[in-house]
Structure 1
Amino acid sequence: MEQWVPLFDIFLTSPTPESEASTWLNQSFSASSSTSTPITTGSFLSLLMKPLDSIVADESSSSSSAWPPCTNRVMFIQTLPNMVQSRVLSFLGFERQRFSSRDLAKLARTVLSGSQELDFWVHRAARNLLDVVSESSYEWISCLSLDSGEDEFESLPGWLKDSAASSDLVLPWLPISPEELDWRTVNGNYENNYGSLSQVGEGEDEDMNDVLEEMNIDNPESVHLEPEIKKRAVSLKAWVVDFQSTSKTVGLAKEIRELCSEKGGDSFTVLGLIEPWLADDETASILLSHLTCGSEEELTWPSQVLCSIILPKLLALEEPASRVLVTATVEYCKRHQRASEYALLFPLILRRDGINNPIYDVITRIIKESLHPAHVASFCQKLLCGQKDERKVICLPCHQYLITDKMVWTESFFNLLQSILNHNVHLSQNSVDQIIYQVQQLAERFSNSLKFGNFLLCFVTKCSPSLKHHKLILTRVVEHNKTFLAKSILGKLAGL
């Protein structure tokens, strides 16, 4: 038992137990080959399945009459804390090729069929383990004492059986040949497949469609404004560029809000006439703080404020942004996170010339200080894997020429991805696959880039559990890198 203590310490304390436990096993196999009790996968499973007598508490009996205590026969793994049990079962599923499938299935079934009530995560890990090690012919279902027959629920239809027998298929129960799979399916880039991340922005698509229709972005020339509203908007434009005092700027914000909400006016068109992005940074920060709304779920008005005051300034940014502007922007994005995603983050990253270092600094501040990591992961999923209509951008018509519908991969963008990974954002497998595809295409172009090398080192370190099947591709990518970081990256890849 003592020889397994370091492994159980990993399951108890490590943030990435699967990869660390796998590394420990690799090292321990060679180190224990000369000892009397070598460490093997079989001995580890034997330990987990070792039967023990567990005392069952009987709350209906008093302490004086509860002797001798009732016992129940359990496996060693069932005596461990729930968190450790779920991690061990997840590890066994992750490294199932090293273990006996029959023993793994037996272990999973025993855990699931125990008399004690299972923890949710333990039950889920055991069920996943049973699913991945069960035979595709469904022979294991025979233990459930079900009657067999041609019309059973688990039986395949005749046409599927005939198709499977006559062709080389990807899966025995799915009549699709490898040639029929396109590149997007192979790389996991499925349409509208965000997994658990979709819960972060549930219903966002419908809300965004309503917002875009309300703003009339696609057909702004069709909006008709009353002459009086146009006249007031032109007068406010002169007020914007002439900063006199904070109190007057607060009054300007009030005038803008009233004019945009008046009947017969369109706030998106009115803001385009006022041109509030022409204000200096101090005026812009005051306008931003006084043009907020009470509801954090509101999307339309906060998006209009961001895309008319802050976005044009940042799209043209070539020098580091002022502290007053960045601070005001970050505070506004904290209150209106969804608006910051569609009216600031998407347009900046989809900038026609790509993001530069000053823009990278601002985006990094917004992501780290304004958004939850799960929100950032969902944003990355849409950015990297989404279609054009999923990367919805809110901006004024006069600034649309600065934005494209395709990402431009620059050194600063790789810096941004590295900052996101260092912010403990867990990318989905789809996002990881798309990044791998892009670095494969760009390896020659950035062969001398230290920033690209630093990103690769961070990527391999942070996303190692998702890179196991891409080891060869990444090795070829790193072989093109001519910086001193290549050796370190190759060392990390060798440990996958």
Structure 2
Amino acid sequence: MESWIPLLQVFLNSTCPETEASKWLEEMFNPPASYSPRISTTSFLSLLMRPSNNSAVQHSSPQEKRVMWIETLPSVVQARILSFLAYEHQRFCTRELCRLARVLLSEGRRVDFWVKKAAQQLLDLVSLSNYQWLSHLNLESEEETEEDDFYMMPDWLRDAAIDGESVFPWLPMSVDELSAKMPLTGSSGGDEDDLLIDVEESKQKNIDVVMVEIGEDESNIDNEVEKVAKSLKTELLHIDSNLKAVELAREIRKLCSGGRRQRLLILNLIEPWSADDETATVLLCHLSDGIDADECDWPSHILCSVFLPKFLVLNEPSSRVLLNATLDYCKTHQKAAEYALLFPLVLRKDGVNSPICDVLTRVVRECLHPAHVSAFCQKLLTKDEDVLRFVCLPCHRCLISEELVWTESLFSLWRNILDHNVHLMQDSVDQLVEQVCKYSKRYSKSLKFANFVLCLINKCTPSLRPHKLILTAAVEKSDTLVTKSILSKLSAL
């Protein structure tokens, strides 16, 4: 009983009992060597279902039902315990959970409304069939003929134990499987063929690699193909209907059916971005079909040749037609959106301005999962140049820098990203703190910069504790409406 007192205090006092109780239970399953209490999920259920002392003494009538120990607790604690059992039901024996829920539901009017609600939720979650319960049902006579899965060995482990070729009797992995999944670490030579890597990991790396623009001198175009490309460019400038735009998109698809290097150079000659916004959306829609290319390759080339150039020179709010088409496309092709739009725009040589910040914010919030955005931020803030890969046409390379250009709008973009509940790794937070200290004097009067710092403190408090002193010194250089609020937050770290 004593070992469960901390857990019961969580149920009694916590504002978020399910998660705190789960954390406590996990810590007790992996205790330090100096403290190893004997607890288990089975013993906890036994405690909850144990007959109370009063019940044992006053149980005079055979018709009188016993009172379990959980029923002696306050109703709010009972409801929280049942909610926790539903939250962590995979750790507990399904048969015992069903029994506990059924006993409570059989009590009828004696049970609090919220306790009954939690018990019904638990029963619905763990029972294997639909039960119709009556308040007078005698649950003590229920027969249990089937062994519960909680006590059974998994089928895959039982079958593997029969196999005599396992590496270890308790490890269901054959020698062939072990060789296929693990790299060879022998001392002989450095032959790369000896390094065996997982297929899925290799496939993901192939997507991320070589996502960078092509220089004009790296590949040549056939003279006939060049003439056709220039002809298509002329037609693009004189499009007067959507039907002609569709026909032109088909011609561009046919011409770009070769390798990625040739394709980029051909698109560079055609200049699809020179079309007006409405025509560009038609081109985007029809260029996406009919090309047998890598799922990230061709969509990236479409984005960097049709939409990216328009946003790179954006100095006023984007048109609704252009922005909506971009968002719809990025929702479908998220990897392409990262490499052919987000990276080039954030790395813009003149820095991110307010209209571009609005576009980037919309793409981040409406097209990408927060985990994807977190990975993007990690790559963006890294100092490894090999990670900063992006796709653009040769003629636009001069508009993109190799490192971030920090502007007020870029700090606003980071604030918008943090407000999107994106979790940043510690090294990413460290990089942002470094930029705050570096630019605190330049943007000492900037409210955008100050709001970013305030947001950073609110969202990344645990990661900022090692930087409390240098952040305080940096903020003290500023003079804005929120400076006092920032200093107050820092002092509470």
The reply to whether TM is greater than 0.5 is yes
Provide closer, same or farther for how the CA distance between residues 456 and 6 of structure 1 changes in structure 2, counting only shifts above 3 A. Answer: farther
Q: Structure 2 stretches of 5 or more lacking a match?
A: 25-36, 51-61, 70-76, 89-149, 152-199
Query: Which residue matches 2:311?
Result: 314
Match of 1:8 in 2: 14
In structure 2, distance between residues paired with 1:249 and 1:304? 18
What is aligned with 1:54?
47
The corresponding residue for 2:358 is 361
Match of 1:287 among 280, 283, 290: 283
Change (3 A) 1:433 1:210: closer
CA–CA separation in structure 1 for the residues paired with 2:261 and 2:390 = 23
Provide the identity percentage: 46
Alignment partner for residue 254 of structure 1, among 250, 267, 270? Answer: 250
Deviations 1:169-211 (A, max 9, x none): xxxxxxxxxxxxxxxxxxxxxxxxxxxxxxx998544323355
Q: Match of 1:237?
A: 233
State the Cα distance separating 1:468 from its structure 2 match: 2.1
Which residue of 202, 216, 219 maps to 1:220? 216
Contact 2:260-2:297 within 8 A present in 1 as well: no
CA drift at 1:226: 2.3
> Following the alignment from structure 1 to structure 2, what is the Cα–Cα distance between the partners of residues 301 and 324?
22
1:264–1:328 Cα change, 3 Å: closer
Question: Which residue type is aligned with residue 243 of structure 1?
Answer: I
1:470: how far off?
1.9
Q: Distance in 1 between matches of 2:259 and 2:19?
A: 61
Is 1:208 the counterpart of 2:242? The answer is: no
1:264-303 alignment runs, 5 A limit: 266-293=262-289, 298-303=295-300
RMSD, aligned α-carbons: 3.9
Match of 1:463 in 2: 460
Q: Is 1:475 aligned to residue 472 of structure 2?
A: yes
SS of match in other structure, 1:353: coil
- Deviation, 1:227, is 2.2
> 1:10 Cα deviation (Å)?
4.1
Residue 223 of structure 1 deviates from its aligned partner by 2.1
The equivalent residue for 2:320 is: 323
| DSSP-derived class of the 1:407 partner | coil
Residue equivalent to 1:100: none
Letter in 2 for 1:328: A
1:454 Cα offset (Å): 0.8
What amino acid is aligned across from residue 485 of structure 1 in structure 2?
Answer: V
SS where residue 47 of structure 2 aligns? strand
Q: Summarize the Cα distance change of 1:476–1:361 in structure 2 as closer, same or farther, 3 Å threshold.
A: same
Q: What letter matches 1:348 in structure 2?
A: L
Note the alpha carbon deviations across 1:293-315, whole angstroms, 9 max, x for none: 48997111111111111111111
Unaligned runs of 5+ in 1: 19-45, 58-63, 86-116, 119-199
- Aligned 8 A contact 1:297 1:336 in 2: no
Shift of the 3–262 alpha-carbon distance from structure 1 to 2, 3 Å rule, reads closer
Cα offset, 1:12, TM superposition: 4.7
**TM-score where L is the length of structure 2:** 0.61
Q: Which amino acid in 2 is paired with 1:238?
A: T
The separation in 2 between residues aligned to 1:265 and 1:382, in whole angstroms, is 24
CA distance 1:445–1:264, change in 2 (3 Å): closer
**Which whole-Å CA distance do the structure 1 matches of 2:313 and 2:249 have between them?**
23
The 3 A distance-change label for structure 1 pair 336 and 470 is: same
Residues 263 and 405 (structure 1 numbering): CA distance in 2 closer, same or farther, change over 3 Å? closer
Q: CA deviation at 1:262?
A: 5.3
Amino acid at match of 2:356: I
Query: Is 1:434–2:427 an aligned residue pair?
Result: no
Count of aligned residue pairs for this structure pair: 339
| SS of residue in 2 equivalent to 1:446 | coil
Contact in 1 for aligned 2:347/2:403 (Cα 8 Å): yes
Secondary structure of the residue aligned to 2:386 is helix
SS, match of residue 321 in structure 1:
coil
In the TM superposition, what whole-angstrom CA distance separates every residue of 1:54-106 from its partner, at most 9, and x where no partner exists?
Answer: 1569xxxxxx9xx99999xxxx9x97837999xxxxxxxxxxxxxxxxxxxxx
Q: Counterpart of 1:392 in 2: which secondary structure?
A: coil
Q: Does the CA contact (< 8 Å) of 1:296 and 1:336 recur in 2?
A: no
Of structures 1 and 2, the larger Rg is shown by 2
The amino acid that maps onto 1:237 is K
| Correspondence for 2:73 | none
Per the TM alignment, residue 442 of structure 1 is displaced from its structure 2 partner at its CA by 1.0
Q: Which deviations, in whole Å up to 9, do the C-alpha atoms of 1:8-53 show, x marking residues without a partner?
A: 1145589xx99xxxxxxxxxxxxxxxxxxxxxxxxxxx9x99x987
Is the 1:293–1:302 Cα contact (8 Å) retained in structure 2? no
Q: Which residue of 2 aligns with 1:346?
A: 343
**Secondary structure at the counterpart of residue 324 of structure 1:** helix
User: Superposition pairs for residues 31-70 of structure 1, below 5 Å?
Assistant: 54-55=47-48
Pairwise mapping of residues 384-395 of structure 1 onto structure 2 (< 5 A)?
Answer: 384-395=381-392
Counterpart residue number, 2:492? 495
Q: For 1:327, what is the secondary structure of its paired residue?
A: helix
Deviation string for 1:391-449 (max 9, x for gaps)? 10211111111111110111001110111111111111111111111101111111110
**Structure 2 contact 211–389 (Cα < 8 Å) conserved:** no
Distance 2:86 2:436 in 1: 36
- Is residue 301–residue 340 contact of structure 2 (8 Å, CA) maintained in 1? yes
C-alpha displacement at 1:471, in angstroms?
Answer: 1.8
TM superposition shift of 1:494: 2.4
Aligned partners of 2:372 and 2:302: how far apart in 1?
21
Partner of residue 371, structure 1? 368
CA distance in 2, matches of 1:347, 1:460: 28
Q: CA deviation at 1:330?
A: 0.8
Could you say which residue in structure 2 is the equivalent of 1:61?
A: none
Provide the secondary structure at the position in 2 that maps to 1:435: helix
Q: Per chain length, whose mean CA-contact separation is higher, i.e. which structure has more relative contact order (CA < 8 Å, sep 6+)?
A: 1
Q: 1:5 to 1:264 in 2, by over 3 A?
A: closer
Quote the Cα distance in structure 2 between the aligned partners of 1:413 and 1:380: 13
Rate the CA distance shift 1:237–1:202 in 2: closer, same or farther, 3 A. same
Cα deviation for residue 225 of structure 1 reads 2.1
Aligned to 1:423: 420
1:142 aligned residue: none
CA distance in 1, matches of 2:202, 2:461: 29
Matches of 2:355 and 2:202 in 1, distance apart? 32
CA distance in 1, matches of 2:228, 2:435: 49
